[in-house]
Chains A and B, each alone.
Chain A
């Protein structure tokens, strides 16, 4: 089946540094990728929608300059958390829509900012 590979699965970074998270569609072309954030014991909150070759669409309240999204090819979308702070520590998940209204998810990235 369709797979989205997400890396890294876990990252620890120092406050003030930037972290890049990658999501690759392995056996299909993803023209759209959704990026979610999930805090412990909470549901997925949509952060932004990336579209190949165009600017990402951010949800209300999400800082565009802090969460940089690039979707330069049909198989790769990246989320960069810039100048990370402890409050950015969370679980980040990407998702790509498939045919027939199915959505496949990456395995998630646990970000810890110290």
Chain B
């Protein structure tokens, strides 16, 4: 069993729809949770960052962490074709300097 599980997709939605992404994990020591967006043949770029349980909103993006269920989510409202990319969840146990554990990534396609 992988330490972080993420549905690979692809997830296809019409423009304007809400994109719902999630990851489950097994290591209860994870405290820092991140979502990255990766376009084809590019490095990942940080979208959202959350410490411990709770919700965080930034523009069209909302990240949720439920440590009791070991489950994290990312919601993208009013999706745009430019949101078409692979979304990776990542998590770590400690503060900066510790290595990240990534999910497998979910490919998202937003159709105009």
Which positions in A face B, CB cutoff 8 Å? 6, 32, 34, 41-44, 46, 49, 91, 93, 95, 97-108, 110
Contacts and interface: CB of A to CB of B under 8 A. Distances in A.
Given A43-B102, A97-B96, A100-B96, A91 B32 contact: no
Contacts of B98: 97
B88 A104 contact: no
Given A32-B97, A101-B51, A103-B100, A41 B41 contact: no
A105 B103 contact: no
A104 B45 CA distance: 7
Contacts, number: 59
Contacts of B43: 6, 93, 95, 105-108
Contacts of A98: 96
A100 B103 CA distance: 21
B95 interface: yes
A54 B42 CA distance: 29
Nearest to B2: A43
Nearest to A57: B99
Given A34-B99, A43-B88, A43-B102, A101 B44 contact: no
